C-alpha cells in the first residue's frame, strides 16, 4: 500500500464543491469513485481545502492510500482518462506514509478576480465577478495591509462550528490591476469558510467609499457594529496552491 499525493485543477462551475455530498457531484466524490474502481476497494481521498460550490482550483492537493501497484504516469493517465474535461490531475507522486494533504499543509493561496469593465467576455464570465461599482483601487490597496498578520476573522466568514478557532494568519495580501481585471491574492496559514469571499467583499466596500480604514481596523478587533462586506460570488474565487 502506498500513500499518493496528487495536484488537481478544476472548473468548479458545475460542481457542488470539493467535499462529498449526499446530493450533487463533487470533486472528492468523483475522484473516490474512479480510484475505488481502479483499486478494487473503497478509497478515501483527503483534500487540502474544502472549496465551496462554484469555486475553482489550479493547485488543489489531495492524498490517499492505494493498494494497487501502478507507476505514477500510469495512474495519472488512468485518472485523467476517466475524468471529464472540467477536472484534470496535473501531478502524481508517491509520498511518505505520514503525509496528509490537509494536516501537512503550511499555507494556502487563493485569488479573487473582479471584472471592472462594462462587458464581460463569454470566455471569462465563469471565472470573474462582474463588479458594477466604480472602485477606488488605490484606497483598497492602502487598506490591504491591515488584514496581514494574525487576527480573529469571525466577522469575515460564514458561521463556523461551535468551539472552532476563528483565528488565522494572513501572510500576504496583494492587489494587482491589469486592464479591466482586479486580482486579490491572499496567502494564509488557513482559511475559514467564505473568508476570502467576505474579505474581497469588504475590500469592495472600501473601494466604494462605504468603509474606512478605521472601520476595517475595528472590524478586525471584533466590533460587531461595523458591517463586513458581502460574500461575493463563488465563481470569482480560485485556489491557487497549497504550501507544505
Find the helix or strand (DSSP H, E) in which 241 lies: strand 237-243
- Angle (deg, nearest 10), helices 213-220 and 195-207: 160
Q: What residue has cell string 478509497? A: 43
DSSP element (H, E) containing 6: strand 2-10
Enter the C-alpha cell of residue 158. Answer: 460564514
Here the cell at position 64 is 490517499
Angle between helical axes of 27-39 and 72-82 (0-180°, round to 10): 120
Q: Phi and psi dihedrals of 170, rounded to 5?
A: -85, 125
- 52 catalytic? Reply is yes
Which of 11, 52, 179, 223 is an active site residue? Answer: 52
Supply the residues annotated as catalytic.
52
Amino acid at each position: 500500500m502506498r500513500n499518493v499525493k496528487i495536484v488537481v485543477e478544476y472548473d468548479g462551475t458545475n460542481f457542488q464543491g470539493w467535499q462529498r455530498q449526499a446530493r450533487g457531484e463533487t470533486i472528492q466524490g468523483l475522484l473516490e469513485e474512479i480510484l475505488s474502481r481502479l483499486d478494487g476497494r473503497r478509497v478515501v481521498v483527503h483534500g487540502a481545502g474544502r472549496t465551496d460550490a462554484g469555486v475553482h482550483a489550479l493547485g488543489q492537493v489531495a492524498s490517499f492510500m492505494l493498494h494497487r501497484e501502478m507507476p505514477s504516469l500510469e495512474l495519472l493517465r488512468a485518472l485523467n482518462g476517466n475524468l471529464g474535461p472540467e477536472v484534470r490531475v496535473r501531478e502524481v507522486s508517491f509520498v511518505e506514509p505520514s503525509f496528509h494533504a490537509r494536516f501537512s499543509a503550511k499555507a494556502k493561496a487563493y485569488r479573487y478576480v473582479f471584472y471592472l469593465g462594462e462587458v464581460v467576455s463569454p470566455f471569462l464570465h465563469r471565472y470573474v465577478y462582474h463588479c458594477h461599482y466604480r472602485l477606488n483601487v488605490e484606497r483598497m490597496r492602502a487598506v490591504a495591509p491591515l488584514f496581514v498578520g494574525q487576527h480573529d476573522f469571525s466577522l469575515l466568514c460564514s458561521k463556523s462550528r461551535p468551539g472552532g478557532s476563528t483565528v488565522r494568519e494572513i501572510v500576504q495580501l496583494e492587489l494587482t490591476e491589469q486592464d479591466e481585471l482586479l486580482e486579490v491574492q491572499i496567502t494564509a496559514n488557513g482559511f475559514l469558510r467564505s473568508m476570502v469571499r467576505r474579505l474581497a467583499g469588504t475590500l469592495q466596500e472600501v473601494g466604494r467609499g462605504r468603509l474606512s480604514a478605521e472601520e476595517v481596523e475595528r472590524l478586525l478587533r471584533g466590533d460587531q457594529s461595523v458591517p463586513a462586506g458581502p460574500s461575493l460570488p463563488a465563481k470569482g474565487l480560485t485556489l491557487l496552491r497549497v504550501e507544505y
